Amino acid sequence: MTETNSAYFEARFNKLEAQIDLLFEKLGNLTPEQEISDFNNQLLTITEAAKFLSLAKQTLYGLVQRRAIPVCKQGKRLYFPKDELTEWIRAGRKKTRSEIQAEAAVYVGAKRKRQLATA
């Protein structure tokens, strides 16, 4: 009877050990996503932000003074959310010639419809 009990407990222990290994494997898969999330929410100092944007620190100070760039101020220190800086860069994207032509065609078409409706 003791051999049966020890075999039973050994089997249960092995099953438990396998489940713990599986749990650690799943937790290991979560850490890269967490690191990416932390990377996106990273706050940059003035020096780091200047390097990230390839701007001089004085230029960055000027943008802050004109409130032209997203910034957080805590005491005398400035912090720049990296994800907001990336959005700010993308917001300044120049339109391609084909995008401008498409917008112009939509505008002209709408203007003609209004003129025809009032005539």
Over residues 109-118, the pLDDT tens digits come to 877 777 777 7
User: Which uninterrupted H or E stretch holds 115?
Assistant: helix 97-118
| Count of domains observed in the chain | 2
* 45-73 residue pLDDT tens: 999 999 999 999 999 999 999 999 999 99
pLDDT in tens, 16-47: 888 888 887 777 766 555 555 555 568 999 99
Q: Kindly state whether residues 26 and 61 are assigned to the same domain.
A: no
**CATH (domain of 116):** 1.10.10
pTM of the model: 0.52
Q: Are residues 105 and 82 in the same domain?
A: yes
Residues 73 and 101 in one domain: yes
Domain that holds residue 110: 42-119
Ordered DSSP codes for 30-99: HHHHHHHHHHHT-EE-HHHHHHHHT--HHHHHHHHHTT-S--EEETTEEEEEHHHHHHHHHHTPPPPHHH
